Amino acid sequence: EADIYQTPRYLVIGTGKKITLECSQTMGHDKMYWYQQDPGMELHLIHYSYGVNSTEKGDLSSESTVSRIRTEHFPLTLESARPSHTSQYLCASTAAGGPGELFFGEGSRLTVL
């Protein structure tokens, strides 16, 4: 069983609010990722990190930002949420020396009204 946790699992908020999706893993993995999953099921990489103080943008442009101050923690923030941000956000991690198995959290489903 993967030791990677996301909170909240579900969030419904109004337009303009600032939100932070939390992701934590206890496996000591250096590499962490955020994927956005649209209703059509496709997974799009929006951010990744190869270690502390390392963050990169993924293949899909996103208005969200991330930070990596601690190895185990990779939060995603939206400064001003909009209805177009409504989606499922999946966090994942893997050990260094990849490619190898990605361990996924259970996801955070965000709805912006």
Partner 1 sequence: GENVEQHPSTLSVQEGDSAVIKCTYSDSASNYFPWYKQELGKGSQLIIDIRSNVGEKKDQRIAVTLNKTAKHFSLHITETQPEDSAVYFCAASTPGSDKLIFGTGTRLQVFP
Pick 2 or 13: Cβ nearer partner 1: 2
Asked if residue 7 binds partner 1 (CB under 8 A), the reply is no
State the nearest-atom distance from the C-beta of 62 to partner 1, in Å. 15
Asked if residue 94 binds partner 1 (CB under 8 A), the reply is yes
Angle made by CA atoms 63, 70, 49, in degrees to the nearest 5: 45
- Return the residue of 25, 85, 103, 112 that touches partner 1, per CB under 8 A: 103
Asked if residue 75 binds partner 1 (CB under 8 A), the reply is no
d(CA 99, CA 111): 32
